[in-house]
Amino acid sequence: MSILVTGGAGYIGSHTVVELLMQGHSVVVLDNFSNAQPQVLDRIRQITGRDFGFYEADLRNPEQIEAVFAENDLTAVVHFAGLKAVGESVRKPLEYYDNNVTGTLNLCRAMTRYGCKRMVFSSSATVPFVESQPLSTTNPYGTTKLMIEQILQDLYAADPQWSIALLRYFNPIGAHQSGLIGESPNGIPNNLLPYVAQVAVGKLPFVSVYGNDYDTPDGTGVRDYIHVTDLTQGHLDALRYITGTTGVEAINLGTGKGTSVLEVIAAFEAASGVNIPYKIVERRPGDIATSYAGCQKAKELLGWQAKLDIARMCEDSWRFISGVGSEQ
C-alpha cells in the first residue's frame, strides 16, 4: 500500500513510518515540524535502509495538501498531525480547534476528491475509557478529538465507501530499540516521560508532579502507559483491518493497567541509575485522577494486545535520551 502519514516526523508517527517501511509499504510523510525535528527523517532512513516521500506542509493549508494528493496515488492515511497538550489546550482553545479540527476537515476534503477513503485516526483516551461509553471530555484537546471522531462518523454515514479506525490510545512512552528515535519534543515537554528523561540527563532541574491528593494509591495521577512500538503495531493491525472492510470502529489501545506518576519516576530511576528529583505542585486544569484502557475490542477485532511493560518502556527511553536524544 501507499500510505500518507500526517505528523510522520513526530513521536508516534516516526515509529509508525519505520514499521510501515520495514513491512514493504510505500510511505509519504507530511509534517510542519511544529513539534518534531527534521533529523528524525534521516534516522528513519538509517533504521530501515529505505527512502520515502516527504512534504513540509501544514494541514491548515489546503493548497499544500492538494499537492500531496495530486503527486501521489495514496491508498490510505494514518492521521497523527495535531496539537496534543491538555494543559496548553485549556489556555489556547482556539488554536487547538483551528489546528486539529480545521486541519482534519481539509485533509478529509482532499481524501474525498482523490477517492482515498481509508483512514486510521490518532484519537485519544481523553474521549471515553471503554468504546461503548458515551462521549465526553474535560478539556479542549479532548473535545477536538471528540469532534473529529463525530466528523468521521458523519463522513461514513454520508458515504459508506469509507473505512475508518478511530484509535483511542492512552500514554505512549518508550523509544525504538535502536535508540535512534524516541520522544524529543520541541521546547519544554508536556508529557511526563520526556520530562523525566530531561531531568535525568540534567537538562531540567526537577519533575513537577501535578497534585498528590488524587484518590489513587499514592495520591498522584494514574495513567495507562503503553510502549510506542506496541502502539505502532496497533496502527499496522488497524490498517490491515480497514483494507478489508468499510465502516467506522473506535478501538482502545493500551495495556489495561494503571501506573502512577511516582511509580513512573521510580521505574525510570531503576532503568537509568540516576536519582530524579521531583516537586509536588498544584493540579493541572483538565486532569483527572485515573485513566486506563479496556482493550478487549482491540484483541477481538485486530488480534492486537500490548506486550511490553513499564520497565522496558523506561529502559528504551533511557537508551534514546542518553544517546542521540541528548543532542536535541
- Per the CB < 8 A criterion, the answer to whether 317 and 175 are in contact is yes
DSSP 46: H
278 included as an active-site residue: no
Write phi, then psi, for 156 (nearest 5 degrees): -70, -40
Grid coordinates representing 324 are 542521540
Instruction: Report the alpha-carbon distance of residue 201 to residue 211 in Å, rounded.
Output: 24
Grid coordinates representing 140 are 479542549
Grid coordinates representing 55 are 512534504
Question: Which of helix, strand or coil describes residue 72?
Answer: coil
Catalytic one among 11, 55, 96, 141?
141
- Which residues, in sequence order, are bridge partners of residue 75? none
Instruction: Report the alpha-carbon distance of residue 42 to residue 40 in Å, rounded.
Output: 5
Q: Which helix (H) or strand (E) holds 56?
A: strand 53-56
- Per the CB < 8 A criterion, the answer to whether 21 and 50 are in contact is yes
Residue burial 159-190, b: 16+ Cβ < 10 Å; e: rest: eeebbbbbbbbbbbbbbbebbbbbbbbeeebb
- Which residues, in sequence order, are bridge partners of residue 171? 225
Write phi, then psi, for 187 (nearest 5 degrees): 75, -160
Instruction: Report the alpha-carbon distance of residue 31 to residue 36 in Å, rounded.
Output: 8
Amino acid at 232: T
DSSP 324: G
Enzyme catalytic residues = 141
